[in-house]
A and B are shown apart, each in its own frame.
Chain A
Amino acid sequence: MPDEKTGRLDEEYVVQMKGITKVYPNGVAANQGVDFNLRRGEIHALMGENGAGKSTLMKMLFGLEQPTSGEIWVNGEKLTLSSPTVAISHGIGMVHQHFMLVPSLTVAENMVLGMAPRRGLFIDHAKAVAITKEYAEKYNLHVEPEAKVMDIPVGMKQKVEILKALVRGAKILILDEPTAVLTTQETVELFKELRHLKEQGYTIVFISHKLNEIMEITDRLTIMRGGRSMGVYNTCDVTKEEISRLMVGRDVILNVQKDKAQPTDVVLRVRDVEYVNEWHKKMLDKISFDVRRGEILGIAGVEGNGQKELVDMLFGFLTPNAGTVTMQSENILGLSQQKLRDKGVALIPEDRMLYGIAGSASIEENLISDRSAEKRLNRGPLFNMKAIHDEADKLIEDYAVLCKSRKQQVGMLSGGNIQKVVVAREFSGNPLLILADQPTRGIDVGATEFIRKKLVELSRSGIAVLLISADLAEVMELSDSLIVMHGGKIAAYFEDTSTLTDDVMGEYMLGLKAQSEEEIRRVCHD
């Protein structure tokens, strides 16, 4: 159908982005001459390492960012997408990785936010519920309209997000790492729903790192690397290995090699820990486990099942209501972070931008934050600048931090390199126990591999490692033994992770199954 205004044929492509370049105020050239197009009714994967520019490209399509140069055509019409409102009015919807929902409102209220049906001065709740039900039915996305968002599981929150976009008339859906927070079963369900949407003529952009999922659900894929497009492929024409090579420019060993653990004495001992949060929800319920020298104990589980509280407690940010925590037979509850670090506890924090770094400080300043008072870095009252420079240069080299110099602002680095700075500091402070909380979340394959190898290496040198990760592949691959947490409890303990399958894990993570107390107690090596 030739467009009257432009005389163009737009039969094939609903979206065409041509020669998109984006330079951010901090000097990062996130996109350089990227071409991207979408066929009507396809599921199109957008792949690339973190920092490759996928999110930037999609933010421009959704009107959150404006390109420095380049053109965006939607349905054969050249558009200036100055805000999400404009994008939505042209049928483009986006589901963010971090949900944009109001937790204290109901599902139906969230659905109609900003476009609420009214009766007089008030919101017509009945109508909001009716609309929600109608859409849920139509698109086969089952939600509970009257439940409060804070009470529903993550999988349902995501459905609400998708429905929100559909209610607003989206025909093109951008999903930013939609499976990152889902269990295996929830992912299967999501894929079913996405196929259903596709059959009804919707176009879907699927941003993901996970190769298996891409192969399963998408029709075509665009691979990005270093801000450029590395080409568009039919999913059926490429193999996983080829994709991974295009993404990182070399063959990545996706399996970390490790020999069998030989755990020795217990370093961290947690017994009967309970914690009730400020909303009177029991977040930790009689948690007991041991972590031994020379082993990686993994904690798997859907996020929000007590992992965050557990880590906060172990690193002194939170005091439990009951229970004991000892390190080498000495109590560590209620100690300050400084005392914990003196005892040899290191933490890779889940939120690296909030806890891991001081963004506008230099790489060097970030590397010495836990050791600035050490004798070897000071000369009398003054810093020994040479010792500090040497320390920083050594760590930058050892941990392959890609930067111009140690004086560069750490916030200007890519996610993977920021995490390397955090890891370099945490691993080099002679730790006895490493708490690794989502150590490779959202970072590129190269950095991920590097950090995983280091974790294995350190554990084999006699350090106790507690690995908390929502990435199922990661915990299963790295851990020597494994705990599954569900609803603040330990649902299962596996002494050997090599025979585990995703399906079994999923059942424990979702609470469909739980081991007996005797089985779980094996994690305590009394």
Chain B
Amino acid sequence: MTKKRQILFSVIRGLLAILIALLVATLLIFLSADGGSFGAKLSATGDALKQLLVGPLFRMGRSGAAFDFKRLTDILASMIPIIFTGLSVCVMFSANQFNLGAEGGIMLGAFTTGMVAVYVPMAAFLHPVVGVLVGGLAVAAIMLLPALLKTKLDVSEMVCSLMLNYIIMYLIKYLMNTYLADKTKGQIQSYEFLETSKIAPLIDNGSKLSWGFVVAIACVVLIGLFMFNTRWGYTIRMIGINQAFAKYSGMKVATVIVLSQVLGGFLAGIGGGIEMLGRYPTFSWSSLPGYGWTGITIAILAGNNPWFVPFASFFMAYLTKGCELMATYANVPSQLIDIIQGVIFLFFAAEQFLSKYRQKLVVKTAQEELATKAALEAQKGGAEHA
């Protein structure tokens, strides 16, 4: 297939997967909608869908929908943590390492950075930078665990990192409950972050869109370059495609497998730190935040390509916002987002989805190529005769 057709196919396939997910969502909304009659249910469904699809950017009023800048900034703000987890998963999956530790990673990063923000006084500019870096390094260090177990003892990194998420979560909960909580407050939370540690908002409209967003985009560029324009990223990708080939070619396979997971951990860690200092006044997470799981969806939507992560993140953030609005204004359970995600996921991951259409495109391209070749040869033959 030509490159153009390949891209066209991917786009059509992606859009169709999303469309099918929305159809499933519509059906579920209809089933759970209020109203006694069919008509009432239908109109409730219509309202809910409007919130889901248009609501994230437009405020619905009597006079129609009006663009709402605040809502856009809300979406951009909620992209911050998932851009980081998306990048993290991209790097690890590219090396064919199914490390699912981004979830625990982002929580550990948030916690560690939070503790630096509470207990280690520093100058204003320095404080968030050091705090976030410490968070990143902590997660990078903990990812050595699944990575080294994999390379030294051939322990499945998937099982190991999955379990690690819960160990991290319960350890943090234990530390919070027992030693670190501000006992004067009604819920389990840390003492307030020092004023010097906070990441400044990018736009002051109460949206939580902080400078962290700029850092996130910068990281997309850095990781994009890293994966495609450096020898280390190249090695990661080659190992991901064919590990035996990488070893035979003289690449340091074990080292790079460890590197990919440590880097993945670092990205998840700074994501957690930035999210913490840009959005919250204290550390109060008492369970896994879910950003790591979303990161996996994003990496799959982006085809493990860092350059596509911002787009996939925007899509996921938009969808999440839409579901929130639906839950608020149209009385639809917010868990629906998980179902929609699941369906999209299913169709993206399904190798055979639309494979017949793909085969048709392939046949067409091949036939065209053969025709051009034949024409060229005929021309040549003609020229010789002349």
User: What is the CA–CA distance of A257 and B234 in the complex, to the nearest angstrom?
Assistant: 40
Residue B362 at the A interface, CB < 8 A? yes
Q: Does A383 make an interface contact (CB < 8 A)? A: yes
CB distance from A153 to the nearest CB of B (A): 29
Among A27, A315, A340, A355, chain B packs the most CB atoms within 10 A around the CB of A27
Cα A381 to Cα B231 in complex, Å, equals 8
Q: Verify if B250 is at the interface (C-beta below 8 Å from A).
A: yes
**Is A126's CB within 8 Å of the partner chain B?**
no
- Shortest CB-to-CB span from B375 to chain A, Å, is 15
Find chain B residues with CB under 8 A from A25 CB: 355, 358-359, 362
333-391 of chain A: CB within 8 A of chain B = 336-338, 340-342, 347, 349, 354-361, 365, 368-370, 372-373, 377-378, 381-383, 385
What CA separation (Å) do A342 and B250 show in the bound complex? 9
Q: Is the CB of A338 within 8 A of B244?
A: no
- The answer to whether the Cβ of B229 comes within 8 Å of any Cβ in the partner chain is yes
Per-position 1/0 for B345-386, Cβ under 8 A of A: 000000000010011001101110010000000000000000
Q: How far is the CA of A485 from the CA of B362 in the complex (A)?
A: 47
B378 to chain A, nearest CB (A): 16
A51 to chain B: closest CB distance in Å?
A: 14
The residue in chain A whose Cβ has the minimal distance to the Cβ of B1 is A27
List the B side residues contacting A68 at CB < 8 Å. Answer: 363
Query: Are B247 and A361 touching (Cβ within 8 A)?
Result: no
Q: Chain B nearest CB: distance from A393 CB in Å?
A: 18
A381 to B232, CA, bound (A): 9
Bound together, the chains give a CA A68 to CA B370 distance in angstroms of 16
Does B235 have its Cβ within 8 Å of any Cβ on chain A?
yes
Would you call B241 and A373 a contact (CB within 8 A)?
no
Determine whether the beta carbon of A372 is less than 8 Å from that of B241: no
Q: In this assembly, does B246 line the interface, its C-beta being within 8 Å of a C-beta of chain A? A: yes
Question: Does any Cβ of A come within 8 Å of B37's Cβ?
Answer: no
* Chain B residues within an 8 Å CB radius of A369: 238, 245-246, 249, 251
Assembly CA distance A368 to B230 (angstroms): 13
Contact at A338–B241, with CB atoms within 8 Å?
A: no
A449 to B235, CA, bound (A): 33
B86-119 interface (Cβ within 8 A of A): none
Which of chain A's residues have a CB closer than 8 A to the CB of B183? none
Assembled-state Cα–Cα distance A359/B245 (Å)? 10
Instruction: Enumerate chain B residues within 8 angstroms of A337, measured Cβ to Cβ.
Output: 247-250
Q: Do the beta carbons of A383 and B1 come within 8 Å of each other?
A: no
Q: How far is the CB of B76 from chain A (nearest CB, A)?
A: 29
Q: Could you tell me if A370 and B249 are in contact, using CB atoms closer than 8 angstroms?
A: yes
Closest to B365 in A: A27
Residue of A with least CB distance to B254? A336
Is there a chain B Cβ closer than 8 Å to A217's Cβ? no
CA distance A385 to B228 in the complex (A): 10
Are the CB atoms of A381 and B362 closer together than 8 Å?
no
B205 interface contact, C-beta 8 A: no
Say which residue of A24, A354, A361, A368 sits within 8 Å of B241 (CB atoms).
A361
Residues of B within 8 A of A (CB): 1, 225, 229-231, 234-235, 237-238, 241-242, 244-252, 355, 358-359, 362-363, 365-367, 370
9 contacts between A and B (CB under 8 A): A25-B355, A315-B248, A337-B247, A340-B250, A355-B245, A357-B242, A365-B237, A369-B245, A383-B230
Using a CB–CB cutoff of 8 Å, the interface residues on chain A facing chain B are: 23-29, 32, 68, 315, 336-338, 340-342, 347, 349, 354-361, 365, 368-370, 372-373, 377-378, 381-383, 385
Instruction: List 10 tightest A-B contacts by C-beta distance, closest first.
Output: A338-B250, A369-B249, A358-B241, A341-B250, A358-B242, A355-B248, A23-B363, A372-B231, A29-B366, A337-B250
Q: A337-B247, A361-B237, A372-B234 are in contact. List 15 more A-B contacts (CB 8 A).
A: A23-B359, A23-B362, A24-B362, A29-B366, A337-B248, A337-B250, A338-B252, A347-B248, A354-B244, A356-B248, A357-B242, A358-B245, A359-B242, A373-B231, A381-B230
